[in-house]
Amino acid sequence: MKRHFGFLFKWLLEKDISALLVCKALRYFLPRKYHRLSSLRICIYTSCFGKYDQFCTLPMQTLPADIWFFGDSSPDVKSDFEFLNVKISDSAFRDPRHAAKYYKLCPHCVPELNNYDVTIWVDASCRIKSRYFLELLLMTTNGYICMRRHPDRFSIYSEACYSQKMIKYKGVDLIAQAKSYILGGLVDDRLWHCALIVRYSSPQISLFNSIWWSEMDKSLQDQISTPYAERLSGVRIEPIPKYLNWFNIYSFDIDHRNHEYEHVTDY
C-alpha cells in the first residue's frame, strides 16, 4: 500500500498543477520577493557551437524573461518559437566547447546580456519542461549566484579522478589541477554541477566570472575550477534546492554524448 501511495504522490508532484499550486503558495507567503522578481530584467540563455549539443525548446514562462541562443548555426526549433533571440557568430576558439564556455562563464562580457539583472544559464542539453520553471527556480533560491550541488560526487578531487579517464579529457592533467587548488588553501568539501546557473548582475559576480574563465586555460572541466573562483572572488555560491527535481520542471540529457565519457587506459 505504501509503495502504491508513493507512486501516486510522485505522479501528482510531476504534474504541472503541483508546480502551479506551489507557485501560488510562494506568491502568497513571499509577495515582496515575487513583485521584485516581476520587475527585474531576466533572461534564460544557452550556447552551442559545432553542433555539440541539441538545443531543446522551452515553454513560455510565468515570469517575464527573454530567451537567448548563442552559436555558430541556428538551432533547429519550431517556426512559432518567436520569443527566442538567436545570435550567430564564428567561433574564436578551435574547440567548440571552448567557445560555448565563454558565453557560459562570461555573461558580463556579452553585449546582448549586459542589460539584464538576472541571467539563467542552462546547458544546451537541458530540457525545461514547465512554464513554472523560472518562477520556482527564482522564488526558492537566494544569493547572487546559485548552482546545483553535484548529485554524485562531493569534492573537486573526486571529480578530477572520475573525469581524468574520460576520452574528452585525454592529455589534460585534471588531478594536478585539482591538487594545485587544494595545496593553495582551498577546502575541498563541495562540488557544483554547473549545468544550471542563476546569476544576479554585480561587480563581484563579474569578478567571479573573470577568475573562472581564466582557469579555462588549464582545462575545460569547469566544475573543478568553480570553488577556486568562488574562493578568490569572495562570492558564496548558494545551492539550488534538490526538491525542485520533484516537480519534473527540467531534466538533463545525460546520455547525449556517451562516447566522450568512456574511459581510456592512457592519459
Q: Is it the case that residue 39 has pLDDT exceeding 80?
A: yes
Segments in 140-194 forming alpha helices (H): 156-163, 174-183
**pTM assigned to the model:** 0.90
What band does 5 get if pLDDT is binned at 50, 70 and 90? very low
Range of the domain at 62: 2-156+190-256
Residue 214 lies in a domain: yes
CATH code assigned at 151 = 3.90.550
Residue 228 lies in a domain: yes
Residue 221 lies in a domain: yes
Residue 250 lies in a domain: yes
Where does the chain show beta strands of DSSP type E? 42-48, 66-71, 84-88, 118-122, 126-128, 145-149, 192-200, 238-239, 250-252
- Specify the residue for cell string 588531478: 175
Residue 199 lies in a domain: yes
* Tens-place pLDDT, residues 160-199: 999 999 998 999 999 999 999 999 999 999 999 999 999 9
Q: Which three cell numbers stand for residue 230?
A: 568562488
Residue 241 lies in a domain: yes
Nearest to 225 by CA among 181, 162, 168, 170: 181
Residue 174 lies in a domain: no
Q: Total domain count for the chain?
A: 1
Residue 172 lies in a domain: no
pLDDT at 263: 53
